[in-house]
Amino acid sequence: MNLEFEITGQDFKKAGEASFKVKHCLKRLGLPPDIIRRVATAAYEAELNVIIYALRGTMRLCVEDQCIDVIIADVGPGIPDIQLAMREGYSTAPPYVKQLGYGSGMGLPNIKKNADWMDIQSEVDRGTTLRFKVNLNERKKRRK
Amino acid sequence: MKSPAQPDLLLVLDKERCQGCTHCLRACPTEAIRIRHGKAEVMPHRCVQCGRCLQVCPRGAWGVRADSLEKVKKDGGAVAVLDPTVFWQFGGQISPRELAGAFLKIGFSAVEDLGEALEIYGAAVSSYLSSEDRISPAIASACPAVVQLVEVKYPSLTENLVPIIPPLRILASRRKDLGREITKQRSFYIVPCLAQADAAINALGKGKSFNGAIPLANVYNPLKAIVSQKRKTTDASSGKEPLLSGMRWAAAGGESEALDNPASLVVDGIENVANVLELAESGLLEDVPFIEAWACTGGCLGGPLTVQDPFLARYHLMARGRHNRSRVTKGKKGKVSVDVDPFRLSRPFVSRPGMRLDEDFKLAMEKLRRIDEVVKKFPGIDCGSCGCPNCLALAEDIIQGHATENQCFYILKEKTARRSRQRGRRMENLK
């Protein structure tokens, strides 16, 4: 199964809408609470990255027998150094975004923490494709 | 004639009053209502008993199946168990003793209130929040409608609910400790809302602790008559008695005030609660230690079965100050503290699959895919004319076999226009 949702860059008013729709779908499928929580958290962070940095993007939700696969593809500036971007607290968000309470540099690390697998492909001045999976049959222990 | 919507749902609809408008349809936080054949219907597996439908209905068609004062009088009196909300219905001048007196006059044989149970509950919540194994953000479980909302709509947050025995059950078990004399007497809980009535009647087991629940609105008028009479004669002495503990729990913020917890997020009104829970579900509130959430605006003071305006009631509550007299410590100074373990719920909260499309995961996926196709046909203006709260809900109902495409006015209009164009063309061909 494959569903796609649009994300518009700089549209902070709609922040969370695409990941809300993803969450809605997972609840309709009756998935275990802890899977919903992890996908929702990771999807929200990924959506915000598109809103903060990119022009536009899409979030595609694929539900397979073994896992939830989410692909967020955007058209935007891309990430020059992915390793650096993965570091906790590293952020290139402009000050006005930080004033809104976003862009604290925890997005990508947070996705990694919640997903069972993640991958980033990026081309400078073209865009970024982030993909993460959450396995359905294996449960991570909830952190306190 | 009122008919129960479902055996264990206390919500009832007066079909003669219901005109099939869309007020409740849109207000329901779990999309549990549909308009079918011109009348509202509720899906029991989704209803969280928040009572929003009661509050927004312009014709008062929604009601509660509950007990009346006549039932109390007929069987020779009973114990009235008062919710703190009751106290604030009569302005700021009445004393707890006067209120109890008024209850005796209208036919009850004794009066108890939830204050002491709330004090113990608060102390147990406090020690849970400072324990090692708490989950952040902890979500208050004092409002039964919020608990049900989490169970149905936010399944991933069920383990965040504070796992403490609710105040009503603490009261019930304390009554048992007091011996047969008290348990023999019949008792009725005077409730501000549907969810509390349900908690007293269904969740605790019928007849086990309470013999029933009486909506606050049903006893308001006779009480008011007595209270206002009394005020004329005893004006000088009233209002001087210290406020008993637990009374401030009636307003949103009352719980946090009772806890040793400096930082808590207080949210009231079911829509606002839903928004905050949405944030919590996306992992954005992990640095918030405690969320005090109430389904009604202003807390229990805004309950659908109360009479006094919740803001005026809160004004009286604030004006009365914080002169709480603890009953657990018998008025001595110092906070009540209890060991959390005896008050932990033996069975924690579990999610209810109210929003699930199908038990079978594969079938659910297939349905979700088809819903995504069908919903594109609709205009997306969520007008509610089809009897569903929004276009997506109509698409879901169609795939579930509960609705048809023609329920959508826009589709029907298009179809009729197309048909008349075709007919016109046929007529021209005949010429």
Domains and CATH numbers, chain A: 2-135 (3.30.565.10)
Q: Please, what is the angle between helix B144-153 and helix B270-281, to 10°?
A: 50
Going from the C-alpha of B424 to that of each of B412, B414, B429, the distances in angstroms are 18, 15, 9
Rounded to whole angstroms, how far apart are CA atoms B85 and B216? 9
Per-residue pLDDT of B29-50, as tens digits, reads 999 999 999 999 999 999 999 9
pLDDT band at residue B149 under the 50/70/90 scheme: very high
User: Are A27 and B351 an interchain contact pair (Cβ–Cβ within 8 Å)?
Assistant: no
Mean pLDDT score across all residues of chain A: 89
Alpha helices by DSSP H, A29-139: 33-53, 82-85, 95-99, 107-114
Q: Compute the average pLDDT of residues B381-388.
A: 95
pLDDT at residue B6 in the model = 45
Element at B117 (helix H, strand E) = helix B115-129
Full 3-state SS string of B139-183: ECCCCHHHHHHHHHHCHHHHHHECCECCHHHHHHHHHHHCCHHHH
Rounded to whole angstroms, how far apart are CA atoms B272 and B297? 9
The answer to whether B356 contacts chain A (CB < 8 Å) is yes
Among A45, A29, A53, which Cα is nearest to A113's?
A45
| Residue A34, beta-bridge partner list | none
User: Are A16 and B157 an interchain contact pair (Cβ–Cβ within 8 Å)?
Assistant: no
| pLDDT at residue A73 is higher than 60 | yes
Q: Please list every residue in chain A whose beta carbon sits closer than 8 Å to the beta carbon of residue B278.
A: 16, 20
The answer to whether B282 contacts chain A (CB < 8 Å) is yes
Burial B133-156 (b: 16+ CB within 10 A, else e): ebbbbbbbbbbbbbbbbbbbbbbb
Rounded to whole angstroms, how far apart are CA atoms A16 and B275? 11
> How far out from the chain centre does Cα A74 lie?
11
* pTM (2 d.p.): 0.89
Per-residue pLDDT of B292-309, as tens digits, reads 999 999 999 999 999 999
Q: Write out the two tokens for A107.
A: 């997005």
What is the share, in percent, of chain A residues with pLDDT greater than 70?
A: 95
Q: Please list every residue in chain A whose beta carbon sits closer than 8 Å to the beta carbon of residue B366.
A: 1
| pLDDT at residue B243 is higher than 80 | no
Mean pLDDT score across all residues of chain B: 87
Rounded to whole angstroms, how far apart are CA atoms B290 and B285? 10
Q: Please list every residue in chain B whose beta carbon sits closer than 8 Å to the beta carbon of residue A37.
A: 156-157, 281, 283
Fold of B1-65: Alpha-Beta Plaits (3.30.70)
What is the share, in percent, of chain A residues with pLDDT greater than 90?
A: 63
The answer to whether B350 contacts chain A (CB < 8 Å) is no
Q: Please list every residue in chain B whose beta carbon sits closer than 8 Å to the beta carbon of residue A19.
A: 282
Going from the C-alpha of B21 to that of each of B24, B286, B388, B411, the distances in angstroms are 8, 40, 11, 20
Going from the C-alpha of B36 to that of each of B40, B51, B61, B192, B285, the distances in angstroms are 6, 20, 15, 29, 39
Residue for token pair 């086990």: B208
CB-defined contacts A:B, below 8 A:
75
Give ranges for CATH 1.10.15.40 in chain B: 361-431
Rounded to whole angstroms, how far apart are CA atoms B6 and B13? 11
User: Are A29 and B356 an interchain contact pair (Cβ–Cβ within 8 Å)?
Assistant: yes
Would you tell me how many other CB atoms lie within 10 Å of the CB of residue A107? 24
Rounded to whole angstroms, how far apart are CA atoms A85 and A92? 9
A74 φ/ψ angles, rounded to the nearest 5 degrees: -130, 160
Q: Compute the average pLDDT of residues A44-51.
A: 94
Q: Collapsing DSSP states into helix, strand and coil, what is residue A98?
A: helix
| pLDDT at residue B321 is higher than 80 | no
| pLDDT at residue B7 is higher than 90 | no
Give ranges for CATH 3.30.70.20 in chain B: 1-65
User: Are A29 and B365 an interchain contact pair (Cβ–Cβ within 8 Å)?
Assistant: yes
Among B175, B173, B177, B166, which Cα is nearest to B199's?
B166
Q: Which residue has the higher pLDDT, B335 or B356?
A: B356
| pLDDT at residue B3 is higher than 70 | no
- Is 1.10.15.40 the CATH number for B361-431? yes
Q: Please list every residue in chain B whose beta carbon sits closer than 8 Å to the beta carbon of residue A144.
A: 133-136
User: Are A28 and B356 an interchain contact pair (Cβ–Cβ within 8 Å)?
Assistant: yes
pLDDT at residue B182 in the model = 57
Q: Minimal Cα–Cα distance from A9 to chain B, Å?
A: 20
pLDDT band at residue B232 under the 50/70/90 scheme: low
